[in-house]
Homo-oligomer: A and B are copies of this chain.
């Protein structure tokens, strides 16, 4: 039986996630959280459902992950004009964490590019976006 694309993806993702999580360790959040903060910053204030749609993550997962960030004081939630909606935005602390984390994240990006080479890294991006 040939190699499983999905198993290879999952293994690679575990490895790379670990690399980014380690890089972000000094600011006390992991890559999933950092990434979520970045998306919130880009479109704030934004609703849970809209956030989930943008990043292709189940709404209940978004809700749960945002709650963790709220517990850390990095975001706050309130109501939209549509009372059903919970909207999220960054706190001052959240903004600071993003700023502090940017060079650490870039270091991880650089490490990936060093490992693959620039061309292969660009290729990987394209392939992942095709999947």
Interface size on A, residues (CB 8 A): 43
Number of copies: 2
**Given the complex of chains A and B, what is the CA–CA distance between A8 and B31 in angstroms?**
12
Contact call B1/A102, Cβ cutoff below 8 A: yes
Contact status of A131 and B1, CB under 8 A, knowing A6-B17, A6-B31, A17-B6: no
Is A68 in the interface zone, CB < 8 Å from B? Answer: no
Q: Chain B residues near A3: list those with CB within 8 A.
A: 125
User: Is chain A's binding surface mostly helix, strand, loop or mixed?
Assistant: helix
Apart from A6-B108, A8-B125: 6 A-B pairs, beta carbons within 8 A: A1-B38, A4-B105, A6-B16, A6-B17, A12-B128, A123-B123
Chain A contacts to B: CB under 8 angstroms: 1-17, 19-20, 31-32, 35, 38, 55-57, 102, 105, 108-109, 112, 115-116, 120-121, 123-125, 127-131
